Amino acid sequence: MKMIHNLATSSTTASSRLLLLVSSSLSKPFICLSKKLQFSSSKPITSPQNSRPISYYRAPMNILNKLGFGTRSSDPSTIDPTIPQSSDDDLPAAGQQFVQFGAGCFWGVELAFQRVPGVTKTEVGYSQGLLHNPTYEDVCTGTTNHNEVVRVQYDPKECSYETLLNVFWARHDPTTMNRQGNDVGTQYRSGIYYYTQDQEKAARETLEQQQKLLNRKIVTEILPAKKFYRAEEYHQQYLAKGGRFGFKQSAEKSCNDPIRCYG
């Protein structure tokens, strides 16, 4: 009986020690965890920083831009049309005249006029819009109302204005609104932009003549020439310089080689 009592007492004592040990061992992690949290919270929490500088470079051009998916322009409510809607104040060379044409992507249109005898200079650019100093990406958004145009300088002693109009009508489809082939957008609309009343009169007369030859309504706009914004340098004489694939196309006068619109 005494042996049983001793065993019971020993068992109770062992149980008490075990409980004390468990209690003691459980309390340490919480104390340590509490210290760790306190230590961690005393340091400022930082997140990884990107050390690369922000780039504002705009890629020169890609096919998505040609389809109208370029970088979005600024808030249209901030656009001031006063300057871009003013008259073109550039002057042609002595004895020369200007005219602007919009007939789709300006690359092929420019090459067509480069080949005309009596044309002394061509430039591609943006006109008839609402944004001052537009970029190619701005125009491709379709929110600035600019048209891709070619400004043609010609010698009226060697090249008649009517000759240029014939090239214009033959170069594109004037019945498709805001579209030429796969190029879709307001920047591809058909337009003749005149500098003199004589140019306007001749343009309207030839439009009437062309309308008699077509079974669809011509949508070409005939308007006074507005401020001309010269396009980025890589657009100038694009096809003559090799285009997208590096194959130069002839800009020789009277050349009638087929024009590959994108090079």
Q: pLDDT band at residue 263, thresholds of 50, 70 and 90?
A: confident
- Among candidate residues 105, 140, 159, 261, the one labeled active-site is 105
| pLDDT value of residue 80 | 81
Whole-prediction pTM value? 0.72
pLDDT surpassing 70 at residue 59? no
pLDDT surpassing 60 at residue 49? no
Contact 139, 146 (CB under 8 A): yes
* Residue 221 in tokens: 């706009």
| pLDDT value of residue 211 | 98
* Residue 116 in tokens: 């005309």
Q: What is the Cα–Cα distance from 143 to 113, expressed in whole angstroms?
A: 28
Number of other residues whose CB lies within 10 A of the CB of residue 195: 17
Least confident of 19-28, 67-76, 181-190, 220-229: 19-28
Domain boundaries, the chain: 96-235
Cα 98 to chain center, whole Å?
Answer: 27
Cα 114 to chain center, whole Å?
Answer: 25
pLDDT surpassing 90 at residue 61? no
H helix count then E strand count, the chain: 6, 8
pLDDT surpassing 60 at residue 103? yes
Number of other residues whose CB lies within 10 A of the CB of residue 64: 11
Q: Is 63 helix (H, G, I), strand (E, B) or coil?
A: helix
Instruction: List pLDDT tens digits, range 112-149.
Output: 999 999 999 999 999 999 999 999 999 999 999 999 99
159 catalytic, yes or no? Answer: no
pLDDT surpassing 50 at residue 229? yes
Q: Is 215 helix (H, G, I), strand (E, B) or coil?
A: coil
Q: For the chain, what percent of residues have pLDDT higher than 70? A: 70
Residue with tokens 């760790």: 36
- 149-172 average pLDDT score: 98
Chain length of the chain? 263
Q: What is the Cα–Cα distance from 189 to 15, expressed in whole angstroms?
A: 95
Q: C-alpha angle with apex 11: 9 to 15, nearest 5 degrees? A: 115
Domain 96-235 matching CATH 1.20.81.30: the answer reads no
Which of 68, 85, 83, 198 has the alpha carbon at shortest distance from 138? Answer: 68
Residue with tokens 């090239």: 167
